[in-house]
Amino acid sequence: MTDNPWWRGAVIYQIYPLSFQDSNGDGIGDLPGIIERLDYLAELGVDGIWVSPIFKSPMADFGYDVSDFQAIDPLFGQVGDFDRLVTETHRRGLKLVIDQLLSHSSAQHPWFRESRESRDNPKADWYVWADPRPDGSPPNNWQSLFGGSAWRWEPRRRQYYLHNFLESQPDLNFHNPQVPAAMLENLKFWLDRGIDGVRLDAINFCYHDRLLRDNPAKPEAERTGRGFSPENPYAYQYHWYNNTQPENLVFLERLRRLFDAYPGVVALGEISSEDSLATMTEYVSDTRLHMAYSFELLTEEYHAAHIRDTVDTLERKMRDGWPCWTVSNHDVTRVITRWGGAKASPRMATMLHAMVCSLRGSVCIYQGEELGLPEAGVPFEALRDPYGIAFWPNFKGRDGCRTPMPWQDAPNGGFSTGTPWLPIPPEHLPLAVSRQEADPNSPLHHLRRFLRWRHDQPTLRWGEIRFIALPEPLLAFTRSLNGDTALAVFNLGSDAVQAEVPLDGRLRALDGHGLPAGRIAGRAMHLPGHGVLFATLE
């Protein structure tokens, strides 16, 4: 299976650069800090790193509002630091994936500054502008993901502009052919610098409905999922017209032709639509994205049936594509808290790593998850996330999963010699890397051992998957490749469980993965709380 591209079956570690490692004492993580920690990442056993946005930005949405797509923000360093990151990452045998957002820019981008001045300047049609209704109200009922109307009045033009996210993130008009051409040039700038992939933020938001039709109302019972809390009016609509338009498929094919000119480079899309699994099946193909992930495993739902149904549904629809899975990122409550509650066992984190890394697909692991970090409690006066500030106290925003990495059980966690931009919670310090390095039974060591073992298990990296129905809280499936079949069983609960072996034939338990393991006795499987069982069918 050596012909597989590097990203198939890869484990990619997501770095939130503001919070990873500060090298100059200003309390903000930076590129030299990432370089300083590359040996840690190589030893962890991941295949590559994904670095969240590092481009020039006023930081209204912490890098997801770009004012220059071809410049590094001074907070993080310079282009020379980025080039050194590419070199040093590759020197350790790792791959480098960067984050790019194509659908919008910062309101401080020169394109938008020009576009808003008049209706007849060279950039006048580079953003989504629309006249008001006769009564002066916005042109339609579209809502921003951050709450309230997705339209903002601009007095210079006497028009509204569209912002699917913050008001300071105006949407680019991809119906103007100059815009996709310009965004592809921005991508090319970084591809030419030797990166190995691009994670494409909100990639289904590039195009909007030309007719600006109203989104239909959504029944209360269906107002669920990421960003769909009852407090947020975004939940009240089916978002059929402000994203996921058919024109986007043509653009993705054009984007793929660009990527194909750089062998080995992967396009990973983030999908958030009304039916994200269906959108993934459309977007991932030999002529569009290489792989994609959505938010189905980033919600509050935690039971074996949900995980099984989510993955199985995608498997049935995406026969030829390749998924990417994640259970945590910079936008959601950390998984150990979201799924395990305030008193979750560290063994749960170990089991969840093994589970997601055993699904068919690639995997993204968010920084700090290898330590089993719980969600941080950030007081209102320390919040930085505009989403959390707007919806406090019903929704506390995303700062709780973005606090700095605790490298040492010491003041500021070894993250910075200055005051961190977000406070490091005291409960994170006993889970610091320095403490876990000294404990061979820590989540950190468990994940290291597991990833080393997984690297030599081709069935887990590339095999086909078939789910087996077992009673809750057991999740079970087989992975098969070239005539070899492995059984994987995960106890999602905290109590020990016994179940009958679900396959005919003789099973031999696999060891060497370094996890709290179950055992097979005759036709019975015994799994400890949050235990795992790997076996081969002989």
- How many angstroms separate the CA atoms of 351 and 391, rounded? 33
- How many angstroms separate the CA atoms of 327 and 356, rounded? 8
For residue 443, how many C-alpha atoms fall within 13 Å in the half-sphere facing its CB? 24
Element (H, E) at 96: strand 95-101
Which residue is listed with tokens 């969600």? Answer: 375
Under 8 Å between Cβ of 291 and 323 = yes
Q: Which residues pair with 104 in a beta bridge?
A: 171
CA distances (Å), 30 to each of 19, 75, 194, 373, 416, in order?
A: 8, 7, 19, 21, 11
Under 8 Å between Cβ of 297 and 310 = yes
Distance from first CA to last CA of the chain, Å, rounded? 21
- How many angstroms separate the CA atoms of 101 and 437, rounded? 36
- How many angstroms separate the CA atoms of 486 and 533, rounded? 10
- How many angstroms separate the CA atoms of 315 and 304, rounded? 16
Catalytic annotation on 270?
Answer: yes
- Selecting among 270, 296, 370, 399, the annotated active-site residue is 270
- Assign 522 to helix, strand or coil: coil
**Beta strand pairing status for 324-325 and 266-270?**
unpaired
- How many angstroms separate the CA atoms of 72 and 139, rounded? 36
Catalytic annotation on 201?
Answer: yes
User: What is the DSSP track for 334-394?
Assistant: -HHHHHH-TT--HHHHHHHHHHHTTSSSEEEEETTGGGTPPPP---GGG---HHHHHHTTT
- How many angstroms separate the CA atoms of 444 and 200, rounded? 29
Where does 393-537 have alpha helices with state H? Answer: 433-437, 443-455, 458-462
List the one residue out of 41, 26, 51, 20 whose CA is nearest residue 413: 20
- Selecting among 99, 201, 315, 385, the annotated active-site residue is 201
**Beta strand pairing status for 497-500 and 532-537?**
unpaired
Contacts of 463 (CB under 8 A, 6+ apart): 360, 479, 480, 481, 484, 486
Catalytic residue positions, numbered: 201, 270
